[in-house]
């Protein structure tokens, strides 16, 4: 945006730019008479000068020796005074880089603490992170526990019958399915033996008790694979209980839902 300033000596008006005024603290030289004057204090209303023939920028006459004012006049005009406030460049506020670095370190430490605390839950949301988390935990002397969401574990089928080879021993069969897209811990089963529909004894069965095949400890450590199934077989002595029925649930979720 251009401004209009008027030479106080010859009355000639010129168009000037803000950067031209700022370059020499507002001092400009008249391109017609060679007078050096304060271009800021001599600014005039642009609308009042539109009918006048404006000369080119006074910068064109800066290097014309014939247009230089007398020595005495030059000395009086070379002190334009302090520049106006809008031409003064304000120094930027000092950057508090150290504060941002400190806050960034605190935020990063907080994220690491949260990631460590909820590392098991992270593998539920992002199963692909488990290998990386296990590597990091091994270097830090920790482990990544298997998560568990019983809402995603289903007991597909179950039955119980007398063992044909041993009197008073019953065999319980069940099929578990992991419907999650991540590996999770084997659940605890609550098996209730009943007689004529009434509970006579109740027992909690962990994976160590119902996984008795070869390599059971390794399978327990690896957990139920995503989308995998597990067939269970449990032998129980029912002679003292005198039971003729059973109830089974995943402890504690399904048991609480069925008021077992």
In a domain, 117, yes or no: yes
Percent of the chain with pLDDT over 70: 78
Examine the domain organization and report whether 60 and 126 are in the same domain.
Answer: no
Residues 183 and 129 in one domain: no
Evaluate whether 186 touches 231 at the Cβ level (below 8 Å). no
Model pLDDT, residue 260:
44
Q: Count CB neighbours of 71 within 10 A.
A: 7
CATH code of the domain in which 189 resides: 2.60.40
For the stretch 88-105, pLDDT in tens is 555 565 667 888 888 888
Q: Which residue has the higher pLDDT, 76 or 188?
A: 188
Tell whether the model's pLDDT for residue 174 goes beyond 90: yes
**Are residues 80 and 112 both part of a single domain?**
no
Residue 252: asked if its preceding bond is cis (omega within 30°), the reply is yes
- The model's pLDDT over 190-238, given as tens digits with 9 standing for 90+, comes to 999 998 889 999 999 999 999 877 788 999 999 999 999 999 999 888 8
Residue 36's region, left for phi above 0, alpha for psi from -120 to 50, else beta, is: beta
Looking at the fold, whether 119 and 172 belong to one and the same domain comes out as no
In this prediction, residues 58-85 reach a mean pLDDT of 50
Tens of pLDDT, residues 148-169:
999 999 999 999 999 988 888 8
Residue 33 and residue 104 in one domain: no
pLDDT band at 113 (very low <50, low <70, confident <90, very high): confident
Say whether both 159 and 104 belong to one domain.
Answer: no
Domain that holds residue 102: 97-140
Distance CA 104, CA 146 (A): 31
CB 3 within 8 A of CB 15: yes
Question: Is the Cα dihedral 105, 106, 109, 110 positive or negative?
Answer: negative
Helix (H, G, I), strand (E, B), or coil: what is residue 91?
coil
**Residue 92 within any structural domain of the chain:** no
Distance CA 178, CA 185 (A): 10
Model's pTM, two decimal places? 0.54
> Quick one: 127 and 163 in the same domain?
no
Q: Which pair of tokens denotes residue 163? A: 């063992």
Please, what is the average pLDDT of the chain?
A: 80
Lowest mean pLDDT among 26-30, 90-94, 115-119, 145-149: 90-94
The pLDDT score that the predictor gives to residue 91 is: 58
Asked whether the predicted pLDDT for residue 128 surpasses 80, the reply is yes
Q: Are residues 158 and 244 in the same domain?
A: yes
d(C-alpha 174, C-alpha 226), whole Å: 18
User: Does the pLDDT at position 84 exceed 60?
Assistant: no
Q: Quick check: is 16 in a domain?
A: yes
Residue 174 within any structural domain of the chain: yes
Burial of 180 (0-12, 13-18, 19+ CB in 10 A): buried
What is the full DSSP assignment across 158-216?
EEEEE-TTSTTEEEEEEEEEE-SSS-BPPPEEEEEEEETTEEEEEEEE-HHHH--STTH
Residues 107 and 136 in one domain: yes
pLDDT in tens, 6-19: 888 888 887 878 77
């Amino acid at each position: 945006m251009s401004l209009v300033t008027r030479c106080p000596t010859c009355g000639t008006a010129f168009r000037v730019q803000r950067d031209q005024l700022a370059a020499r603290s507002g001092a400009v030289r008249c391109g017609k008479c060679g007078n050096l004057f304060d271009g800021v204090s001599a600014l005039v209303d642009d609308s009042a000068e539109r009918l006048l023939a404006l000369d080119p920028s006074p910068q064109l006459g800066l290097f014309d020796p014939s247009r230089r004012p007398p020595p005495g006049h030059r000395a009086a005009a070379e002190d334009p005074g302090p520049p106006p406030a809008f031409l003064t460049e304000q120094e930027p506020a000092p950057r508090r880089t150290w504060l941002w670095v400190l806050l960034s370190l605190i935020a990063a430490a907080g994220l690491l603490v949260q990631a460590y605390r909820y590392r098991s839950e992270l593998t539920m949301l992002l199963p692909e992170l488990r290998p990386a988390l296990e590597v990091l935990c091994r270097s830090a002397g920790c482990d990544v526990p298997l998560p568990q969401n019983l809402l995603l574990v289903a007991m597909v089928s179950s039955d119980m019958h007398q063992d044909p080879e041993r009197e008073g021993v019953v065999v319980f069969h069940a099929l578990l399915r992991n419907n999650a897209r991540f590996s999770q811990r084997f659940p605890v089963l609550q098996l209730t033996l009943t007689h004529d529909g009434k509970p006579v004894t109740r027992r909690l069965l962990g994976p160590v008790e119902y996984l008795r095949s070869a390599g059971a400890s390794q399978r327990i450590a690896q957990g139920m694979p995503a989308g995998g199934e597990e067939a269970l077989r449990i032998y129980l002595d029912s002679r003292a209980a005198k039971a003729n029925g059973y109830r089974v649930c995943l402890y504690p979720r399904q048991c609480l839902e069925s008021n077992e």
